[in-house]
Amino acid sequence: MKAERLLIVVSAPSGAGKTTLCEEAVRRVPGLVHSVSYTTRSPRPDESDGRDYHFVGEATFRQMVAEGAFAEWATVHGHLYGTSRRDLEAHFAAGNDVILDIDTQGAAILREAYRDGVFVFILPPSFAQLEARLRGRRTDRSEEIARRLERARAEMAAYPLYEYVVVNDDVERAVGMLYAIITAERSKSRRFTPAPEMAPGR
Ligand code: 5GP
């Protein structure tokens, strides 16, 4: 599959600040939308259905898997998460570029399906900082935090598989880098459609 529009896939260990960076990127980059994933995990107090995730039961999720509704899906921290193929295609059809905030397993699936995708890994400045951020969140129980830390360590090892790395030592700087990456990718000559009179070989 070759997307005419840009597909930006962002992964990071939990607590690296990926959600904030993706939200800021959507706010600042015209024509960039975030695709809302499906998940079987329960909403956190500040989350709402349809905005942060589509919160569904496991039976519904499994049914969607069986129907081939997901461009990718994975089990993360014991819950199921997936990107709707239809949502993705609808965003592209509307002329938008799409940013996805997904784990490394999902990114690996999309790397095969969307070869033209842009893969960005967000790293925290240090593991100690990551731990502090996860503990500071206070929305997850301590065993959940321990599980996320263990997984974060494993996830960080995946960064060489991504084209770009952004170290989130400062949100403003990191958003600036993400903006620059998206702008540069949009400017690639192979993505440029010239006006007929400007087409090469005319
Ligand atoms: P959280 O539960 O903290 O919102 O997200 C947990 C992890 O699941 C994060 O790494 C997030 O990027 C990932 N995730 C969110 N949506 C999707 C999705 O649609 N597919 C996959 N593979 N991972 C997702």
What domains sit in the chain, N to C, each tagged with a CATH number?
2-191 (3.40.50.300)
CA distance 191 to 11: 24
The two most distant CA atoms of the chain are separated, in Å, by 65
Whole-prediction pTM value? 0.91
**CA 12 / ligand 1 centre spacing (Å):** 10
Residue 17 pLDDT? 85
> CB under 6 Å to ligand 1: residues?
14, 37, 41, 72, 74, 76-77, 81-83, 101-103, 105-106
Mean pLDDT split into 10-residue runs, the chain, 202 residues:
80 87 95 97 95 97 98 95 97 96 96 94 89 77 83 89 95 96 94 84 72
Residue 164 pLDDT? 98
**CA 196 / ligand 1 centre spacing (Å):** 42
Atom index in ligand 1 nearest the CA of residue 79 equals: 2
CA neighbor of 53 nearest in space, from 40, 66, 64, 63: 40
**CA 103 / ligand 1 centre spacing (Å):** 5
Q: Which residues contact 201 (CB under 8 A, 6 or more apart)?
A: none
Choosing from 36, 41, 73, 102 the residue with most ligand 1 atoms within 8 A of its CB, the one to mutate for a pocket test is 102
